[in-house]
Structure 1
Amino acid sequence: MVMRAKSNVYHLECFACQQCNHRFCVGDRFYLCDNKILCEYDYEERLVFANMAYNPSSLAHIRRQVSNLQPAGDNLTGIRHPSLLTSPPCYSEKNSALGVPQRPPSNNHRDDGSSGYGSPDSETFDPPQ
C-alpha cells in the first residue's frame, strides 16, 4: 500500500513527518511544504519562524537591545562582538538548506484532494517561487 501527497508517492511506513518522524493515521492532517511532509505542529512552527524572520520592527528592537548591552567585567570595556550587531541566525542561508521558508508565508493553503488513502482531506502549502 502507498500514500499519495500531490504527485509524491510514499510507502506506508515512510509516510511520516519529515521533521519529527510522527507517523500519520487515517484522518490526520499533513502539509506538503517544499516537497516535505510535515505534521500540523511542525508546519505551524515553520510559519512562526518565517514570520519572525520578516518582522523588521522586531529586528530593529533586537539591534537596539544589543547596542544597549554593557560589558560584564572591567577588562571588557569597549569590546563589542561583531556577531551581536548582525542579523540573528534565522537569516542565514544555512537555514534555507534546511527548508525554512525564506519569504513570508502567503495564504496559498488549499485542499489538494489527497490524504494518502485517496480521499481529499490533506492541506498543502506551496511557497511562492
Structure 2
Amino acid sequence: MLFALAAAVCTVILRRRGVEATIQLLPAPLGTTAVRRLAHTLRAIPHRPSALLRILLAVPAMVVLVYCPFRIGVQILAGLDPNFTVNAWGGPTYLGAMACHYLDAALLIAAAAYLLNKLLLPATHTRTTDLHR
C-alpha cells in the first residue's frame, strides 16, 4: 500500500515537474552534507580511480543503512504474533527478542555509518549553517 502511494506521488511529480525534479527526490532522505560527500566522491571517479573503489566498498554499507529500518519494522509487526517469539534468539519473550534485534540493528547501523564516514570523500563546499547542526 505504501509503495503504491510512493509510486503515485513520484508519478505526479514526474508529470508536473519533469525528470529533473524527480531526480532531486532521490537524495531527499539524506542530509545535505551526506549528499555533498556522495556527490564529491562520484564526481572524483574520472580523476581518481580509487574513488570508484570507495563507492564499491560503500555500497554494502549503504544497503545496511537502508535495510535496517525495514528490518526493525518487520520485527515490530511480526512481534504482534505470539508464536513469532517462541524460538527467538533473544529469549522467549517479546522484550528479549526485540532487545536483541534492536541491539543488532544499532550495531550494524553504527558500523555502516563509521565505514561510510571513512570511505566517502569530504564535502567540497561547507556552508556556515551546516557547521552548527
TM-score by structure 1 length? 0.34
TM-score by structure 2 length? 0.33
Which structure has the larger Rg over C-alpha atoms? 1
